[in-house]
Structures are given as structure tokens and as C-alpha cells.
Amino acid sequence: MASSRGIEGGQGWQRQLYNWLANPLLVAIVGSFFVYLLIPQLTRGWQNHAKILEVKTNLVADMSDSVGSTTMTGRFIASGLIGKATADPNATQRAFNDAYQKWTIKSAVIASQLAAYFPASDLGFRWRSYANVVTDFLQLSARGQRTDRSAQLLEIATYFPPLKKRSREWWRILLDRNAGDAFQTNYGELGKAILSERDRFVQRVLDSSATGF
């Protein structure tokens, strides 16, 4: 008899729990929680994650494209290929002007985006320093004033410490800006350093947490 009452008591407790869980008011409250609180929160999380991926993808694409295009134009100008490809005496200067304008505008936009989407990091500051070096590289493709070229090369050497180990002759060739093979070789090495730094910068952006939303 005691065992029977224990079974009946257990069944009674289960029946009460079932009745309580089946209460329409409780069902309505739980349903409302999922509909109005939990599901929207999860949806916002997914949407933010998708937005972050979109922002990062677009940002690194702009960085890669703009740096690559500017570096390539600098190489073309320095090698004289643009002038050789056309009879237009102003073609080289026009290519330089267009590249310089596009780069300065695009690099400024990227700096603003980095500051907006990664406010807790120093990516914006780092990008501005890097952008100055890319600008120096482009300017070195032209025949500028010796004092200007010296300042540009100094900024590049400061940004890339390994390049400081280069000989004085290596830097003098870049400073003199002649049309010889030595200049093309050294200028090409600067271009490779800039592109390698671009790839490292892109990876830093991808690894960083975007919080400016």
C-alpha cells in the first residue's frame, strides 16, 4: 500500500507539473519571451556579424587595390614605360597626377573608416603613417627636388628599419633618380617592401575586432 501511494504521489506531482507547464498564460509568456526578446537578440547578433564581415571585406579590398594600383603606377612612371607607350608628352605627368589624387583621397577615406570601425585600436594612426610612405614612394618615381627626395627617403627608411641596413650607395642611387638599371632595381625593392607591409596590414585588420557600430 505504501508503495502504491508513493507511485500515486509521484504521478500526482508529474500531473501537476504538466498542468502548470500547459497553462495558457505560461505558454503565452514563454512565447512572448522568444518572439520579442531572444529571437531579436539572436537576429541582431547575426546581422552585426554579417555587417562586420562585410565591412572588413570591403575595407581590405580597398586597401589592397589602392596600394597595389599606386605602387604599380609608380613603377610604370619610374621605368619610363608610360612615356614610351604614347607620343603625348604630358602622359607621364598626367598619370602621376591622377595616381596621386586617387591615392590621397582613397587613403584618407580608409583612415576614416579604420578610425570609425576600430576605435579601440591604433589602426587609423598606423594607416596614416603607412599611407605617407606610399605617397613618398609614388613621388620618388618622378624627378623632384633633391631636398624633397631626401626627406621622402628618410621617412621610408624610418618606417622600414631593415632598409636602414642598406649601403649609402644604395640610398644614393634612389636619391639621384637616374634612368639606369640600378635605380629600377632599388625602386622595385621599395615597392616590394610596401606591398609586403600592405599584406601585413590587411591581416591586422582581419584579426581586429570591429566595434564602431
CA-to-CA distance for 118 and 120, rounded, in angstroms? 6
Domain residue extents for the chain: 55-207
CA-to-CA distance for 23 and 5, rounded, in angstroms? 27
pLDDT of residue 204 exceeding 90, the answer is yes
Q: For 10-60, write each residue's pLDDT tens digit.
A: 556 566 655 655 556 555 565 555 555 655 554 555 456 577 888 898 999
pLDDT of residue 106 exceeding 50, the answer is yes
Instruction: Using DSSP, state whether 144 is helix, strand or coil.
Output: coil
